Amino acid sequence: MTTGRRNRTAGDAQWLADHEMELARSASHIASMLHKESMQAAVREILLKFEAAHGCEESKIFTHALARKLEERGNLRAVEMLREFVKRGQSPGATL
């Protein structure tokens, strides 16, 4: 493993550790939504709050990490929603 890859991996692990509680809480909130509209509203709310607190670049990382967390929980509907959100490049304030 190269030094650059090792540093990036350590940085990724630290970022995940720093945001683990927020990721778990967000994944739980999204997973609890039963209807598409309420899930979209939850995704929008979570991403808006995260972006406001941490900035756009951190929000992109958070969105991908959140999709992985939801995938681990087996919530493929929410994962697809987040991936579409990223694919479209929408800002959290845009309608889904």
Size (the chain), residues: 96
| Inside any domain, residue 27 | yes
Flag whether 94 is in a domain: no
> Is residue 96, in this structure, part of any structural domain at all?
no
Q: Within a domain: residue 95?
A: no
Task: Report yes or no on 42 lying in a domain.
Answer: yes
- 33 within domain boundaries: yes
**Mean per-residue pLDDT for 63-71?**
93
Contact 58, 70 (CB under 8 A): no
pLDDT for 85: 78
* 74 in any annotated domain: yes
Q: Is the pLDDT of residue 93 over 80?
A: no
pTM, whole model, 2 decimals? 0.78
* 8 Å CB contact between 50 and 1: no
Rounded-to-integer distance, Cα 62 and Cα 56, Å: 10
pLDDT tens profile 6-64: 455 777 888 888 899 999 999 999 999 999 999 989 998 999 899 999 998 899 899 98
The total of structural domains in the chain comes to: 1
Which domain, by its residues, includes 34? 3-88
Q: How far is CA 9 from CA 24, 47, 89, in A?
A: 21, 24, 26
